[in-house]
Amino acid sequence: MAEERMLITGGQRLEGTVRVSGGKNTAVAVISASILSRTPCVIENLPNIEDVNVSVETLEHLGAKVSWDPKAGVMEVDASTICRTDVPLELCRRMRASSYYIGALLARCGQAQVPLPGGCDIGRRPIDQHIKGMRSLGAVVETQRGVVNARADKLVGGDVFMDMVTVGGTINVMLAASQAEGITTIYNAAKEPHIVDLANFLNSMGCRVKGAGTDVIRIRGVNTLACRRPYAVIPDQIETGTLMIAAAATHGDVTICGCIPTHMEALTAKLLEMGARVDERDDAIRVRSIGAHRAVTFKTQVYPGFPTDLQQPMSALLCTATGTSTVVENIFESRFRHLAEMERMGARVRIYEQTAVIEGVPQLHAAAVEATDLRAGAALVIAGLMAQGTTEIYNTHFIDRGYEHLEDKLNSLGAKIWRTRE
Ligand code: EPU
């Protein structure tokens, strides 16, 4: 059978209301934290995506009992039966967030053996800051033949100064510190919404985390963590942004409900600058657009700056803006590979190291293109929605890692997207 492709007939205006799913990056963190609980955990609003399936396989490998209802988005985890402290390479290669099991297993079992993580190929992704943080809590951490071996008879809270703002590093140290003796302080911590969500989840289990959402987080470890009530993860910031960009790209009128508009300020500001109209309600955003968009300049930054995960979909939109846009990617060094694919669709792009200069063209045209990572896939979907003709996207598995039923959601708004293996 031929490889699966996603086909998109462009030029359809998106119109209507769509509900956003639970957050991918918060889901993988909260699921890993569930192994800290001595009582069964119920986690709600989880997206039905491949990274959640890999998380389930990881928990089951460790010996936890998991019941996962992808339709309802509800998972129950009973981690009282955990009997292993290693994560197989096969699972680590499929998900970046496998590294969270270093911190979580250290806290829960006093040891972890986890191969260096995989995930999307968007540049170097070392975990030296994660390891440094765990050493500050008294763990002995060595990497041998690509496997991180961590152990600690006892973790003791300490000061952790992050050399750069790292989402994963902050999460991993929070997990390790949750049962350490005394107080851990993380300086230069990441402020992303999923850091706050993880802190809320840990606190709901009895941990005492303060300062999440600022750059100094204090964690007072406790002996026993226990889930007492179901916990619902926050909506997906990046899916919300992708849908907002899709609405603008098709000159549509779309209301995205179930989202948190304050998480979207950086994108909202840029869409307004481009000439789209954005209206916010408590838990919904309406994006409308008529006429041509203006070119803009933006730089990716840590939260609350413009998220690197939306750089790729946003740069697709800029391919047809009037004028020349400049995009600076400050977080990952190879996150412009989608632009080379879009050149096949008529985009005019020049790349100078971390800067992409995009000269807007009046119209993209359909082509066969390849997703090189998750958000590159989303960017190509946006480009396909704008293009004349039927675009074919290869490597659809990247899209499924992080978007729940993306084509169903877009089709419900009027898009023409389907998959084929013919
Ligand atoms: N870094 C280091 N050393 C470390 C950790 C990070 O040098 O120990 C560097 C990285 O190389 C990178 C920068 O610091 O240049 C930021 O990396 P960060 O640790 O913040 O990223 P991450 O935790 O690996 C998460 C998301 C990514 C998202 C980034 C940035 C998850 C599972 N992944 O990755 O999401 O792009 O934060 O916001 O939360 C995606 O969803 O498509 C995705 C790639």
Nearest CA residue ID for atom 18, ligand 1: 166
For the stretch 267-297, what's the b/e string if a residue is b when 16 or more beta carbons lie within 10 angstroms of its beta carbon?
A: bbebbeebbbebeeeeebbbbbbeeebebbe
Report yes or no: 98 and 127 within 8 Å, Cβ to Cβ: no
How much distance in Å is there from the Cα of 402 to the middle of ligand 1? 15
Whole-prediction pTM value?
0.97
Surface-to-core class of residue 248, CB atoms within 10 Å of its CB (0-12 exposed, 13-18 middle, 19+ buried): buried
Surface-to-core class of residue 58, CB atoms within 10 Å of its CB (0-12 exposed, 13-18 middle, 19+ buried): buried
Report yes or no: 170 and 195 within 8 Å, Cβ to Cβ: yes
- Neighbouring CB atoms inside 10 A of 354's CB total 18
Which of 31, 101, 114, 167 to mutate to test ligand 1, by most ligand atoms within 8 A of the CB atom?
Answer: 167
316: enclosing H helix or E strand: helix 308-318
Nearest CA residue ID for atom 16, ligand 1: 166
399: enclosing H helix or E strand: helix 397-402
Nearest CA residue ID for atom 10, ligand 1: 125
| pLDDT value of residue 119 | 53
Task: Give pLDDT tens digits for 159-181.
Answer: 999 999 999 999 999 999 999 99
Strand 368-370 and strand 390-394: pairing? Answer: parallel
232: enclosing H helix or E strand: strand 231-232
| pLDDT value of residue 124 | 79
Report yes or no: 16 and 247 within 8 Å, Cβ to Cβ: no
| pLDDT value of residue 120 | 59
Which of 136, 164, 330 to mutate to test ligand 1, by most ligand atoms within 8 A of the CB atom?
Answer: 164
Relative to the CA of 119, which ligand 1 atom is closest? 44
User: Residue 323 has what DSSP assignment?
Assistant: S
Could you tell me the sign of the dihedral formed by the alpha carbons of 82, 199, 49, 41, in that order?
A: positive
Report yes or no: 195 and 210 within 8 Å, Cβ to Cβ: no
Relative to the CA of 127, which ligand 1 atom is closest? 8
Q: How far apart are the first and last CA of the chain?
A: 7
| pLDDT value of residue 2 | 85
| pLDDT value of residue 422 | 85
Strand 208-210 and strand 231-232: pairing? Answer: unpaired
Q: Please, what are the averages of pLDDT over each run of 10 residues along the chain (422 residues)?
A: 93 98 98 98 97 97 98 97 96 92 98 82 87 97 95 96 97 98 98 98 98 98 96 98 98 98 98 98 96 96 98 98 98 93 98 96 98 96 98 96 95 98 88
Report yes or no: 19 and 408 within 8 Å, Cβ to Cβ: no
| pLDDT value of residue 1 | 75
Annotated catalytic residues are: 120
How much distance in Å is there from the Cα of 413 to the middle of ligand 1? 32
Task: Give pLDDT tens digits for 313-326.
Answer: 999 999 999 999 99
